[in-house]
Amino acid sequence: MKNTGDGRRKVRVEKEVQEVISRFIIEQMRHDLPGVVTVTRVQMPADFRTAHVYVTYFASSTEGQDAMTDAAEVLQSWSRDIQDEIGHVMKMRYCPKLTFHNDEATEKILKIERILSHISSDPELAKKLSDEDID
């Protein structure tokens, strides 16, 4: 039978790393980022030597994808300082090497919400879709 204690520890460490990074962004980087950056999740292997940090960037609609890429690049350039903070706060044996990624899942959810909003505001389209046989 699999030891679920290791799984719970992994989830706990990922959440704590997420909190430390979020706090660092708020306290140290808020003037370096042109919008609001949210750390949506952190994924780490069982040895905790690396961490994939997924972020979402919220800004005006005119800034778009380029601003998201810029935000990830700014965060990556600060990764050494963020790693130092993680090492200081968490007292881990190995401080994980951070890699920042844009979280496309959040973007997809927002797109689906816009589509659903459009459908609900068009009664004729909503009726047509509700009459179709959906498998």
Alpha carbon of residue 74 to chain centroid: 15
The Cα-based distances of 123 to 5, 71, 119, 127, 134 in angstroms read: 51, 39, 7, 6, 18
Superfamily of domain 4-102: K homology (KH) domain (3.30.300.20)
Q: What is the pTM of this model?
A: 0.75
**Domain coordinates of the chain in residue numbers?**
4-102, 104-135
What confidence tens digit (pLDDT) does each residue in 41-64 have? 999 999 999 999 999 887 665 555
Q: What's the number of CA atoms in the CB half-sphere (13 Å) around residue 58?
A: 7
**Mean pLDDT computed over every residue of the chain:** 84
The residues near 16 (Cβ < 8 Å, ≥ 6 apart) are: 90
For the beta carbon of residue 48, count every other beta carbon within 10 angstroms.
18
Decide if pLDDT at 93 tops 90: no
Q: What's the number of CA atoms in the CB half-sphere (13 Å) around residue 122?
A: 12
Taking every pair of Cα atoms in the chain, the longest distance, rounded to a whole number of angstroms, is: 60
The answer to whether the beta carbons of residues 72 and 100 sit under 8 Å apart is: yes
Q: Which residue has the higher pLDDT, 19 or 5?
A: 19
**Bridge partners (DSSP) listed for residue 102:** 55
Q: Nearest Cα to 102, choosing from 45, 57, 36, 44? A: 57
Decide if pLDDT at 22 tops 50: yes
Q: What's the number of CA atoms in the CB half-sphere (13 Å) around residue 23?
A: 10
